[in-house]
Amino acid sequence: MWLKPEEVLLKNALKLWVTEKSNDYFVLQRRRGYGEDSGGLTGKLPGTRGCPCSSTILDNKKKEGTSASDEEDPERLREAVLRFERLFGLPQREKLVTYFSCSYWRGRVPNQGWIYLSTNFLCFYSYMLGNEVKLVYPWDEVSRLERTSSVLLAESIRVCVRGEDHFFSMLLRLQQTYLIMQQLADYAIVRFFNKETFNAEHPLANPLHVTQRALEIHARNQSFRAFFRLPQEENLCEVYESFLWVPFSHVNTLGKICVSENYLCFASQDGSQCHLIIPLWEVCILQIFLQTAKKSVMETALEKKKYTFWTLDCMCVFLSEDEEGVMVGQSQAVSTEALMNVFHPHDAENLDPKMLKERMKEQSWQIHFAEYGRGTGMFCTKKTRDLIVRGVPETLRGELWMLFSGAVHDMTSHPGYYGRLLEECMGSSSLACDEIERDLHRSLPEHPAFQSDTGISALRRVLTAYAHRNPKIGYCQAMNILTSVLLLYAKEEEAFWLLVAVCERMLPDYFNRRIIGALVDQAVFEELIREHLTQLTEHMTDLSFFSSVSLSWFLTLFISVLPIESAVNVVDCFFYDGIKAILQLGLAVLDYNIDNLLCCHDDAEAVTVLNRFFDSVTNKDSPLPVTVQQASATANDKSVQKVDISNLIKEAYEKYGDIRTEEVENMRKRNKLYVIQTLEDTTKQNVVSTKAFSAAQLDELYMLFKRQHFVSCYWSVCSPALQNHDPSLPYLDQYQLDQSQFSSLFNLLQPWTTHTHARSLARSAFRLLDENGDGLLNFKDFICGLGKRSRAKVDLQEYLKQWQEDLLRREENIKDLPRINQVQFIGLTKTLYGVFHGDEEEESLYRAVARVTSLLLRMEEVGRKLQESSLQKTPQSTPTSTAQPETETLAEGEGDQPESPVSQQETAPSHSDITPTSTSRPSTPTSSPTGTSSPVLDTPTDTPSSPSKVRDGDWSFSFEQILASLLNELSVVRFFERAIDTDSLIAHARKNQLKDAH
């Protein structure tokens, strides 16, 4: 009896398999999302989960995307985009990447809805039984992103934004959703803080072109390059599941073939059993045999070495040249130009036990090469790791470092590059060059290789060449120590490429002014301590001590705390296993000293314990002469128990070898968001302090300022914020606004009704705050200017007094301020009318402005007449102060003037402050009680180009005159002294900031 197969799924769940053809005996099905044209191996495999390179799906065909049927139904995707734009009010330029159905938990109550993931925002919307839930959070504000599980929620995604946790669960594709969220958050960080990473040709350079597919391809390529240590230019083209025939163990190993433009790579299913790399340019013959039996075979014959791959439908044979030609994967041994070899004995007849053991190590590696191959075509297996743990022979160390780090691929792909760099930077002078010169003689000063000009010059050239190659990093401390060790075992050019591999691939973001990479790995180290050393965690609730003390461990790969003969063994493991080896060794060090650490009462005692331990570490098998070895402080102290580095490394691999590289990378991504947000918060607290705002208000204003900075970067690759970005500056200085961005934020935070002259007012405020004239304002400038305007209760007299003191400190005076000409005075009057528009005392304020304008013009006319009279009497003389009483009388004689808060004796201007005018004067401005019209002034056609050069027919006022007249109006004083509700302004700005970005 034939039973028709059916999927067992939850009720109403989406079916993952679609029936193509069926009859009474057979059913042909395909996985949903895979079309008929998805030929090749990848179209026939159900998936590529479990790839050793990464948890990212290594598949270059279509996958389940936005929803299960969106790729087959574009109309549904268009409807989702329209719904996204309508619900959240974001600019139309915001690109929706994907969306999923899920539940958002508010307390213990789930809200069923949809989560929308766009290029710059995480959004959620739910509407059930009249209860609407809407969330909009920028990715740059996310501080935590991780998968969690609890008693209430079997599995969910936790998103922490500004200290508040949000949980999303019941996702049909939770892992896929989590990976996309992780990629989008990482994309935001890299784009804003390391914009140089995305060049013009990068697929993610333009945020408007970011898609789910592009993110998956980018993550897949990154994972592929990191696992096989390939150059940054390599991109994964195809992935095939296959078996590899391993001749030395006579078994077939299940894994995947990963093909890029220049390499064919294989990795076993667990990632550690076996992997190899075959450069395609060294392959001479490719033979393909179609399937002739139940099995298929792919063979790669490399002279005496044969690689056999079992695939689904074909057999391929790769052949190299003959014995006299180039062997695939064969590389030359390390050159004798390595500096260490100058001081390394090579006496073959030396029967010293150390040298005998060194010869035994060399023999073990020669046997390994004969059985597993040598160079890039070598099988890397568990046996290879065992040999690394036991220690690499001195003569092979440079060759194996180049191989395992991937530096050999970089050097092969860029022939002559190092020489060209040296020619370009020869004779150049920069800050990096000065710092390099300062640290040259601090790099292993006790080692003979760096006590002469030979070693110092080589070190100078390598560091200078790298600073010229990567000016974003330039030169940072600890690079000199690492490079000096590399030069001991590798040629100069090889040392350069090893440094490139460390700085740009194996330890990303380590060597810069913020050392974010090292801080991220410290957070990973803390997490591993909590997981593996619970006893120590319970004793020391604050693990930040271990983060601070381990910083030098990570930056120098233990070179700064261990003798050179022991540190090189650690570097061996690092180049093979990456940062995982350093984390394992750090855990082993703490575990070895756990009893002593538990007895410590403070951090100082713990530091002493660890320093004493590192002084006791030796390498009893090191063949280096005494002149090269670094003697520790306890070298001759027999009471101190010695610890052999080989035993320590072996213990680290035995106890903590189960830590997977993939797990470490996921922990890095998870902690990177938190580290950046923590650094930012710390910097923010230390930079800005003002009495005008509370701590909570400062935090809100900072988020508004930061978002305004990022909003300008969201949809343009040529935004001023990105073009002027300097990653070496502190965070508060990196966030800067130009005049347009400042105007948008200023108008959102100004307490007056929006008026036609708001932009000109914002422009004037920007020019006032931009003291250095670079056209950019940082947060400190912004908050200082806002604080002067946004006091809770303003005392104008006190404010003017403080302002005068500020002027005196800058050796300026109110009288030094430029005079205001006709056009500027008209603009000032219109601005005041606009500011007062809509106020509850609008009519009285309009009348006050009219009185002030009338008073100033009358004072100007009196001054003109007095000057004309004095000129008639004494044409050569200047006006005297005899007009002072008359001007005071005019100021006091206004019919309905309120009592001035400032005495007339102190504020009334003298006639010497009034510029001579022509016989005609502008008419008095008229005001509308309803506030619908602005003052009308007859503006002369001939306006002065500068207030300081007033010609016949022009007039101007000093600041003292305008200020004294305004202070006479009680309604104006009361308006500007009115308390401002800063919290409501901030709430208004937060609500409308994104809408203003349309």
Tens digit of each residue's pLDDT (9 = 90 or more) over 424-477: 988 778 888 999 999 998 888 888 888 888 999 999 999 999 999 988 888 988
What's the pLDDT at 269? 82
Tens digit of each residue's pLDDT (9 = 90 or more) over 665-690: 999 988 998 888 888 777 666 666 66
Q: Who has greater pLDDT, 244 or 632?
A: 244
Would you state the structure tokens that stand for residue 5, as one six-digit string?
């197969």
Mean per-residue pLDDT for 406-417? 94
Neighbours of 4 (CB within 10 A): 9
The CA dihedral of 201, 205, 211, 215, to the nearest 10 degrees, is: 90
Tens digit of each residue's pLDDT (9 = 90 or more) over 569-624: 999 999 999 999 999 999 999 999 999 998 888 888 888 999 999 999 998 888 87
What's the pLDDT at 96? 92
Q: Given a cut of 80, is residue 169 above it in pLDDT?
A: yes
Assessment of whether the complete model's pTM goes beyond 0.85: no
Question: Would you say the CATH fold of 226-311 matches that of 74-212?
Answer: yes
Mean per-residue pLDDT for 313-324? 46
Domain boundaries, the chain: 74-212, 226-311, 348-369+384-506, 516-626+639-674, 680-839+978-993
Let me know: does 71 contact 62? Beta carbons within 8 Å. Answer: yes
Q: Name the least confident of 88-92, 647-651, 914-918.
A: 914-918
CATH number of 516-626+639-674: 1.10.472.80
What's the pLDDT at 956? 79
- Can you point out the beta strands (E) in 589-748? 617-618, 643-644, 736-737
937 Cβ contact partners less than 8 Å away, ≥ 6 residues apart: 822, 826, 829, 922, 923, 925
Percent of the chain with pLDDT over 70: 69
Mean per-residue pLDDT for 181-186? 92
Q: How far apart are CA 961 and CA 568, in angstroms?
A: 78
Mean per-residue pLDDT for 355-364? 89
Q: How far apart are CA 53 and CA 926, in angstroms?
A: 78
Q: Who has greater pLDDT, 631 or 394?
A: 394
Q: Given a cut of 50, is residue 56 above it in pLDDT?
A: no
**Whole-number mean pLDDT of the chain?**
75
Let me know: does 508 contact 225? Beta carbons within 8 Å. Answer: no
Confidence class for position 404, pLDDT limits 50, 70, 90: very high
What's the pLDDT at 634? 57
Neighbours of 128 (CB within 10 A): 11
Tens digit of each residue's pLDDT (9 = 90 or more) over 949-985: 444 456 778 877 887 888 888 888 888 777 777 788 8
C-alpha dihedral sign at 895, 896, 899, 900:
negative
Q: Given a cut of 50, is residue 347 above it in pLDDT?
A: no
Fold annotation for 348-369+384-506: Helicase, Ruva Protein; domain 3 (1.10.8)
Confidence class for position 89, pLDDT limits 50, 70, 90: confident
What's the pLDDT at 109? 83
Q: Given a cut of 50, is residue 297 above it in pLDDT?
A: no
Let me know: does 927 contact 971? Beta carbons within 8 Å. Answer: no
Q: Given a cut of 70, is residue 72 above it in pLDDT?
A: no
What's the pLDDT at 784? 77
What's the pLDDT at 933? 38
Tens digit of each residue's pLDDT (9 = 90 or more) over 484-527: 999 999 999 999 999 999 999 999 888 877 788 999 999 999 99
Alpha-carbon Rg of the chain, whole angstroms? 37
Q: Given a cut of 70, is residue 244 above it in pLDDT?
A: yes
Amino acid residing at 276: L
Angle at 616 between CA 614 and CA 620, to 5 degrees: 115
Mean per-residue pLDDT for 389-416? 94
Tens digit of each residue's pLDDT (9 = 90 or more) over 831-887: 787 778 777 788 888 888 888 888 888 887 777 777 777 766 655 444 443 333 333
Would you state the structure tokens that stand for residue 365, as one six-digit string?
């590696």
What's the pLDDT at 293? 41
Specify the CATH class of 226-311 in words: mainly beta
Q: Who has greater pLDDT, 134 or 761?
A: 134
Let me know: does 534 contact 591? Beta carbons within 8 Å. Answer: no
Tens digit of each residue's pLDDT (9 = 90 or more) over 904-932: 333 333 333 333 333 333 333 433 333 33
Q: Given a cut of 90, is residue 709 above it in pLDDT?
A: no
CATH number of 680-839+978-993: 1.10.238
User: Dihedrals φ, ψ of 122, to 5°?
Assistant: -105, 120
Confidence class for position 36, pLDDT limits 50, 70, 90: very low
What's the pLDDT at 936? 35
What's the pLDDT at 833? 79
What's the pLDDT at 243? 81
What's the pLDDT at 490? 95
What's the pLDDT at 122? 95
Q: Who has greater pLDDT, 774 or 503?
A: 503
What's the pLDDT at 33? 52
CATH number of 74-212: 2.30.29.30
What's the pLDDT at 991? 78
What's the pLDDT at 348? 43
Confidence class for position 775, pLDDT limits 50, 70, 90: confident
Q: Name the least confident of 121-125, 144-148, 988-992.
A: 988-992
Mean per-residue pLDDT for 197-222? 82
* DSSP string computed for 13-45: PPPSEEEEEE-SS-EEEEETT--TT--HHHHHS
For residue 547, the 8-state DSSP code is H
Q: Given a cut of 90, is residue 388 above it in pLDDT?
A: yes
Neighbours of 845 (CB within 10 A): 23
- Can you point out the beta strands (E) in 298-410? 298-302, 305-310, 314-319, 380-381
Most confident of the ranges 166-175, 712-721, 739-748, 813-822: 166-175
